[in-house]
Amino acid sequence: MSTQTPQCLIIGAGGVGVVTAYSLFLNKGSTVSLVARSDYDKASTTGYKLSSCDYGEVLNWKPHHLFRSVEDAASSKTFFDYVVVTTKNIPDGPTPVSSIIKPIIESNDKVWKERADFKEQKKTTNVVLIQNGIDIENEIKEKFDLASRQKSTTVPQVALISGIQLISSTKVGPCEIAQKGHDHLTCAAFDKNDEISVKTAQNFISLYTNPGQNQAHFDSNCRYTRWKKLLYNSSINTLTAICGLDFTRCLQFGTAEGSTEFEIVRPAMLEIIDLAKKIDDITIEVDLVDFFVDITRKMVYTPSMGVDIQKGQLMEIEVIVGNVVRSAKAHHIEVPHLSMLYNILKILQGKLKEQRGLLKFDELNAKIVE
């Protein structure tokens, strides 16, 4: 790693991204830059307001640097040691993650070639994906041919870091964030045998941790952690999006007492547990089903996918449930509840795409126009 102060670029200025940027900023171990996009003008003048269960009321906060776009950040001629992605992961949308980070990967390559000392320091472009879902690293591996980079002497290596964040943080207005759940971040190498990525994950934790305020831990097996989080996301999160309700109402409004829980949610979770064991030989504890249902039963809270559909925004259906269903099919494993949820979500996603002009439907011929 460089002996200079690490440069962190956070892409995604929503509820998760702003808290992530603030946590790094408060730690004082790195220079923090944030891509603010639509908030840029307001953030540049009055800064951000955070109402945080971890940090209290924070007014007029600004990171070290603000950028209006990823392209602006790329043109700054800065080598960003950590490219922290907290945007929604929507590979079926107009801007998949590989497209979002491409300008930074390319600008880092250019800066690295121009600085001989960077080669001596063995600087690496460290991509930290603080995002939902499983198999999300594959797109980046393929897009940037990471296997070739590992052997190259003409471009810097790219380390891929998994970030799993348990936090209830929402952007409630321009430059205004409400964080209701304590921040607990786990970081791991997507490839646990990649020594550079393992070291990078551990280093990022040291930059992120603020003792007594947030929690950050090294995760030796991100595959287990991602399967575990899918218990919640592939069942509870998806259901709230389909119903357009918070989870408590989804439970209460069923055909009979317990029908939503025992005929939809719990069976979908058990399918995740079965898949993790059969596909990756990973054991997910069955009592986690009780844990996730019980902690959300009386929390009148709408998860991210439910919020997305309320706002007319595309949902993370492919990384949260689509990849799961495809893996199940590839291994000839039946997942009827997950498949039903996924198929309904695909219809709703199509509706959102049509509303946003990303999809055209020819009513005369009753078909989607390519």
Nearest to 357 by CA among 98, 95, 94, 96: 94
User: What structural domains does the chain harbor?
Assistant: 7-220 (3.40.50.720), 224-355 (1.10.1040.10)
Q: Across the strands, what pairs with 188?
A: 162
Instruction: Give the torsion through C-alpha atoms of 182, 89, 30, 103, to 10 deg.
Output: -170
Whole-number average pLDDT of the chain: 94
Question: pLDDT tens, 65-117?
Answer: 999 999 999 999 999 999 999 999 999 999 999 999 999 999 999 999 999 88
- State the Cα–Cα distance between residues 137 and 222, nearest whole angstrom: 12
Which of 192-196, 249-253, 299-303 is least confident? 299-303
Contacts of residue 295, Cβ cutoff 8 Å, sequence gap at least 6: none
Q: Across the strands, what pairs with 8?
A: 32, 82
Q: What are phi and psi of 166, to 5 degrees?
A: -100, 110
Question: pLDDT tens, 19-48?
Answer: 999 999 999 999 999 999 999 999 999 999
Tokens of 166: 């348990």
Q: What's the pTM?
A: 0.92
Question: Do residues 328 and 335 touch, judged by C-beta distance below 8 A?
Answer: yes
Tokens of 259: 């029908």
Instruction: Inform me whether the pLDDT recorded for 322 exceeds 90.
Output: yes
